[in-house]
Amino acid sequence: MPTAGFIYPDHAAEDDYPFAERLFGDGVALPVRHIYGTDLHAVPELLDLGSERRLAEGAALLAEHEPDSVVWACTSGSFVYEWDGAHEQVEKLAAAAGKPASSTSFAFVRAAEALSLRRVAVAASYPADVARYFVDFLAVGGIEIVSMSSEGIDTAAEVGRLSPEAVVRLAVRHDHPAADAVLIPDTAMRTLGVIPAIEEKLGKPVLTANQVTIWEGLRLAGDIPQTDRLGALFRAARPPDEDRKA
């Protein structure tokens, strides 16, 4: 049974992980452990949240589950380190956990590769200055951003209170006709239950933060189960042909 462990900041939409675990059934375990800091979407606070010390604490909390992989389940707390810094972040996490490790930011890049997505629209909940870091991160990863929108929401707690209907509207409102997919980059947003509805309205894939994070953890753990209920990524995607590290 593959076990992918997740380090999740504070509390917002972590119930997406047991939701996915129930969909996959008895063959998959997705334990989540929390680290704590401010939930403000601001660069200094995000750099602290994703620090080596905090992630080592999360890895220690996950150790009892003996995970096959560990993922830092935070997009903004990884992309604010920029490409090279985010690589160093997950390398240090892997060393602390003694397991293959990654982060949500790298999960977005690898999921886009797996679906052969080249041009995307970004529907961000963050303030614009923070969202720009994500756009720049994707660009270094070889992804063209045809549009970027920002909802300007300051805290993860506020994002976690968005209704399912609001999440669907956000995704549809910020699509772009030239985009191969819409990317929604906040693990504080509860999205797994509405991915099929979004994809039906858009007629194209949607990648959401908790969705790609779970996919990345299972990729590193060595087994990605297929399901019709978590969008195109879990229906047909094959992991990119690369060694299993961030």
pLDDT tens-digit readout, 116-174: 999 999 999 988 999 999 999 999 999 999 999 988 887 878 888 899 999 999 999 99
Residues 6+ apart with CB under 8 A from 104: 71, 72, 73, 74, 75, 78, 185, 187, 209, 212, 213, 216
Displacement of CA 87 from its chain's centroid (Å): 15
Query: Using one digit for the tens of pLDDT, what is the confidence trace for 172-230?
Result: 999 999 999 999 999 999 999 999 999 999 999 999 999 999 999 999 999 899 899 99
Q: How many CB atoms lie within 10 A of CB 222?
A: 13
Q: What is the pLDDT averaged over residues 84-112?
A: 98
CA–CA distance, 195 with 63 (Å, rounded to integer): 31
Residues 6+ apart with CB under 8 A from 163: none
Displacement of CA 103 from its chain's centroid (Å): 7
How confident is residue 47, by pLDDT bands cut at 50, 70 and 90? confident
- Computed over every residue of the chain, the mean pLDDT equals 92
SS3 10: coil
How confident is residue 237, by pLDDT bands cut at 50, 70 and 90? very low
Reported as type and span, the H/E element at residue 188 is none
pLDDT of residue 245: 39
- Tokens for 41, please give them: 């979407």
Structural domains in the chain plus CATH codes: 4-107+210-236 (3.40.50.12500), 116-207 (3.40.50.12500)
pTM of model > 0.75: yes
